[in-house]
Amino acid sequence: MRQSRKQERETQTRLLESACEIFAKKGYRDATIAEICERAGANIAAANYYFGDKQTLYSEAWRLSFQRSLKTYPPYRDNQPDVSAEDRLYSRILSILRRIADPESLDFDIMFKELASPTGLLAEVIQETIEPIRQEFFVLLRELLGENASDLQIQLCQMSIRAQCFDLILRERRRNTVTDNPSIRGLSLIDLDIEKLANHICRFSLAGIREIRQEIETGTSNEGKTIPS
């Protein structure tokens, strides 16, 4: 008997949710369609019908995980005129850290598995979903650095801020994977207040941004100069 449209949507959703969990736990190569279907209460024919192949299911699972994570912890939107650029920067940093800290944010687990064993299968969906957010961040940093900032200066600031956030996820995932490794030291999400950490990263970043903006406005630059020891 053919399923109704509602039943088809429910089956498709169960398959995607199951795929999110399995790919987050095992990664692409160790996950199997059979296991995903068993968890979803569906058959392999249904998975093939809705997604065509494992690669498509993988990318769509990451897309769903990312969208849910971002919906749960959204940053201020850049079209809110009453919110300062500094507050919007803090909001973006806090959004990233909250998503990292939440064990339900499966997009980070899937991405960590992808980094550990690259397949290249997420490149297109990541570009499609993250690029608009990256562009919004780029516009925000231009506002903070001033209109005379070069694209390179903005990209370097963007990279520095993201690195401060993502260093923690890499450390935390390694800590969780190899819990008895004494070499994994330093801060843990368990020990940190997320708001305080976001405030530190924001203040630290804004201090650097202000210095770079002053260099731009005065026509001086410390780029390429050796920092005295």
- 3-state SS of the chain? CCCCHHHHHHHHHHHHHHHHHHHHHHHHHHCCHHHHHHHHCCCHHHHHHHHCCHHHHHHHHHHHHHHHHHHHCCCCCCCCCCCCHHHHHHHHHHHHHHHHHCCCCHHHHHHHHHHHCCCCCCHHHHHHHHHHHHHHHHHHHHHHHCCCCCHHHHHHHHHHHHHHHHHHHHHHHHHHHCCCCCCCCCCCHHHCCHHHHHHHHHHHHHHHHHHHHHHHHHCCCCCCCCCCC
For residues 30 and 39, give the distance between their C-alpha atoms in angstroms, rounded to a whole number: 15
pLDDT value at residue 30:
97
Q: What pTM, to 2 d.p., does this model score?
A: 0.83
Is 227 domain-assigned?
A: no
Residue 229 lies in a domain: no
At 22 the pLDDT is 97
For residue 47, tell me if it sits in a domain: yes
Q: Is residue 65 part of a domain?
A: yes
Walk along the chain (229 residues) in steps of 10 and give the mean pLDDT of each run.
Answer: 77 96 96 97 95 97 95 78 90 92 90 92 94 94 97 97 84 59 53 86 97 94 56
- CATH code for the domain of 14: 1.10.357.10
Host domain of residue 189: 5-218
- Residue-level pLDDT at 167: 81
Say what the pLDDT of residue 53 is: 96
Asked if residue 32 belongs to a domain, the reply is: yes
Structural domain includes residue 225:
no
Please tell me the predicted confidence (pLDDT) of residue 95.
94
pLDDT for position 80 = 65
Q: How many structural domains is the chain composed of?
A: 1
Residue 73 in domain: yes
Q: Is residue 99 part of a domain?
A: yes
